[in-house]
Amino acid sequence: MENNNLINWLFKTNAVRICPENKPFWYTSSKIGPYYINTHFLYGSEEKANSLLKVIDVCKENKMDCSEIILELAHKNFETDEIFRGLITTMCEYIKSNIDIKDIGYISGGERRDWFFSLIVADILKIPHITIFKDLTAVLYKDGVSSEVTDLGGANVLHIADIITEASSYVRAWIPAVNKLKGNLKYSLVVIDRLQGGTEKLKDADVESHALMNVDKGLFDGALSGGHISSEQYGLLMKYLDNPTGTMKEFLINNPEFLENSLNADAKTAQRARICIEEDIYGLK
Ligand SMILES: O=C(O)c1cc(=O)[nH]c(=O)n1[C@@H]1O[C@H](COP(=O)(O)O)[C@@H](O)[C@H]1O
């Protein structure tokens, strides 16, 4: 795709965050790193994304209503927001050019941030949508109607997600949920692949992995030349991209208080820090 567009949109919506000095982000995988991408900000802005998340948090309590509510809001936003419209149009074009549409029986999306993208893409491509919840239950949304679903008869499914790092959400939730429905999660399309093992994990599970964009040097080259990051930040990011584990191991050795502080932080951070220590992810023992 026109990577430059996507890079501009990511920075314009403040979706890419670079950590303050000595304060790396925690990731789902219980690893740490210097950047975090809030892909769902491509809905137009942080404020718009948060307001859709708020609606989702309420409407997901009623599983039969929620697909329609989210899709309607996404359509309205598609009409008025240039960035969101550009992104969704690019996703649809990517699918048409790179995947045999006739081979896709269903498009799925998982709670919550996948739904920003999966429902509207399915609707535009006229493919039924499987709305998957965190408890691994699912609802079929087809021709404007939600219904219960138990058997997809072996049909192929394209799962659409915001971003993959290690594809842990696919392995933990989305693949088992589609298998339970006797579907075949054959394809994955994400907006961003952080290139940290996700594609390989998907390949092991027989899932063909697609991404509109990979996080590599090119993203941060664009950020530097566009004046979005400083040359100091750029240097740190290059070091991390070159050797994510080694760079963060060195950081933890030089900043032993970081893990200690994380253990005393909010519940999610503390849990990630605990796993990082217990599994000795950085080989510090
Ligand atoms: O935690 C992450 O790895 C992560 C990094 C990032 O830059 N942006 C981001 O949104 N994430 C979160 O991590 C999930 C993907 O991680 P995996 O399931 O390991 O591929 C996403 O669904 C997000 O919840």
| pLDDT given for residue 2 in this prediction | 56
CA proximity to 53, closest of 116, 117, 129: 116
CA proximity to 190, closest of 219, 223, 221, 215: 215
Q: What is the largest CA-CA distance in the chain?
A: 57
| Closest C-alpha residue for ligand 1 atom 10 | 38
| pLDDT given for residue 1 in this prediction | 47
- Any idea what DSSP says for residue 173? I
Domain ranges of the chain: 1-37+226-279, 54-215
Q: Ligand 1 pocket, 29 CB below 6 A?
A: yes
| Closest C-alpha residue for ligand 1 atom 3 | 27
Measured CA to CA, the distance from residue 56 to residue 59 in angstroms comes to 5
Q: Ligand 1 pocket, 36 CB below 6 A?
A: yes
* d(CA 166, ligand 1 centre) in Å: 8
Q: Ligand 1 pocket, 25 CB below 6 A?
A: no
Q: Ligand 1 pocket, 109 CB below 6 A?
A: no
Atom of ligand 1 nearest to the CA of 198: 20
Q: Ligand 1 pocket, 28 CB below 6 A?
A: yes
| Closest C-alpha residue for ligand 1 atom 21 | 163
Measured CA to CA, the distance from residue 275 to residue 50 in angstroms comes to 28
Task: Name every residue whose Cβ is closer than 8 Å to that of residue 25 and which is 6 or more positions away in sequence.
Answer: 17, 19, 32, 33, 34, 35, 36
| pLDDT given for residue 21 in this prediction | 86
Instruction: Reply yes or no: is the peptide bond before residue 112 cis, omega within 30 of 0.
Output: yes
Q: What is the pTM of this model?
A: 0.94
Assigned CATH for 54-215: 3.40.50.2020
| pLDDT given for residue 120 in this prediction | 98
Q: Ligand 1 pocket, 209 CB below 6 A?
A: no
What are the Cα distances from residue 93, in Å, to 81, 105, 125, 209, 241? 18, 18, 10, 16, 29
In the chain the first and final C-alpha atoms are separated, in Å, by 44
Low-confidence ranges of the chain (pLDDT < 70): 1-2
CA dihedral 102, 106, 112, 116 (to 10 degrees): 40
Q: Ligand 1 pocket, 166 CB below 6 A?
A: yes
Atom of ligand 1 nearest to the CA of 170: 18
